[in-house]
Amino acid sequence: MGKNSFKPEDFCRKNAEIGVAVFGNINIDTLILVEELPQKGLESNAMSFLVSGGGSAANTAVALARLGVPSIMLGAVGEDLEAEIVIKELEHENVITKYIQRVRGERTGRVWVLIDKSGERTMIAYRGANIKVKKEFNEALKHSLWLHIGGGLLETALEVAAVAKKKGIPVSYDPGSAAYLAPQRLLSKIIEKPDLVILNEFEYRSLVKRDIRLSQLFIVKKGAKGSEAVVDGEKIHAEGFKVRVKDSTGAGDAFNAAFIAALLSNFELKEALIFANAAAAIKVSRLGARSSPSLEEVVEFLEKEGYGKLAMKVSEHYCSKR
């Protein structure tokens, strides 16, 4: 996969200057818990609410950092108070934020999520600065050993991916809703670029239906059923872990981060799937999109679930434990 330039020692340095670049959206999420959704023109009471950083790519960057993998955020925020909040939060999580673009006169992306009694989510999204992101991340890519595209403006993602490929940096891509919303031509173009595509089942079926060809290696995330790697048409499956589900928001992002971290640590595909399923299962058992686990928590979980050997391998081979 062309990851020869990666040396595990690179991860182990404190304040490492090299890491996984994550391109895509940076948002502020407001989760509002309501009994009932308000009817048009009427009001309903909120029982509680939670404001936190969000955006699939930003969540993935945080999840990587928690696993001990330096991550570099590539995205855009506005010129408002929210921008300061999201950047502070990312810094607090040790994500490298210096390449984040600030868009003049624009607002930071925001998502409002109404959750009713049934747990169903109704969302309003303001994409703001996210759709003004420019391709100028060449400097950041000099410090990147991997590029993950976790959504974001497709036209720009395509250009950033092209620069990465030219530099020989491996690229992974999780299209999210673009798998069914993006125009066919644009999506086909971007799907061709990465070395690895990560999808959920619905997105996978949409791509098949739209006759869009996938990369040689792709991953299908299957919710409670776990995940599957498909290499040259051959399937490798890893069962999901049984956990008490609290909130599955961001499960996919936690999975992506852990899967990339495992590949960078030279794990076999099957081991990488198990590791990523474990990280995502822990996330699912907690509230919020930014509740992915630390490396130590994944190791402990794997041991508890009878994967002692893998837990040991993680402890031995994974650089942040050195």
Ligand X SMILES: Nc1ncnc2c1ncn2[C@@H]1O[C@H](COP(=O)(O)OP(=O)(O)OP(=O)(O)O)[C@@H](O)[C@H]1O
Q: Does 8 bind ligand X (CB under 6 A)?
A: no
> At its nearest, how many Å lie between ligand X and the CB of residue 299?
17
> At its nearest, how many Å lie between Mg ion and the CB of residue 48?
25
Q: In what order do the strands lie in the sheet with 109-115?
A: 46-54, 27-34, 109-115, 121-126
The two counts, helices (H) then strands (E), for the chain are: 12, 14
Q: Does 30 bind ligand X (CB under 6 A)?
A: no
Q: Does 248 bind ligand X (CB under 6 A)?
A: yes
Say how far apart CA 93 and CA 173 lie, in whole Å.
23
| Minimum CB distance to Mg ion smaller for 52 or for 266 | 52
Q: Is-contact 167 40, C-beta < 8 A?
A: no
Element (H, E) at 219: strand 217-221
Q: Site for ligand X (CB under 6 A): which residue of 169, 281, 295, 310?
A: 281
Q: Is-contact 253 289, C-beta < 8 A?
A: yes
Q: Which residue is nearest to Mg ion (CB)?
A: 252
Q: Site for ligand X (CB under 6 A): which residue of 78, 151, 250, 288?
A: 250
> At its nearest, how many Å lie between Mg ion and the CB of residue 251?
8
> At its nearest, how many Å lie between Mg ion and the CB of residue 201?
10
Phi/psi region, residue 241 (left: phi>0; alpha: psi -120 to 50; beta: rest), is beta
- Determine phi and psi for 27, rounding to 5 degrees: -130, 170
Q: Site for ligand X (CB under 6 A): which residue of 46, 123, 245, 287?
A: 245
Q: Binding to ligand X (CB under 6 A): which residues in 165-224?
A: 200, 221-224
Angle, CA of 124, 279 and 249, to the nearest 5°? 10
Say how far apart CA 3 and CA 116 lie, in whole Å.
45
| Minimum CB distance to ligand X smaller for 265 or for 292 | 292
Q: Does 19 bind Mg ion (CB under 5 A)?
A: no
Identify each DSSP E strand in 243-290 by its residue range: none
Q: Site for ligand X (CB under 6 A): which residue of 37, 85, 163, 243?
A: 243
Q: Which residues bind Mg ion (CB under 5 A)?
A: 176, 252
Q: Which residues bind ligand X (CB under 6 A)?
A: 200, 221-224, 226-227, 240-241, 243, 245, 248, 250-253, 255, 277, 280-281, 284
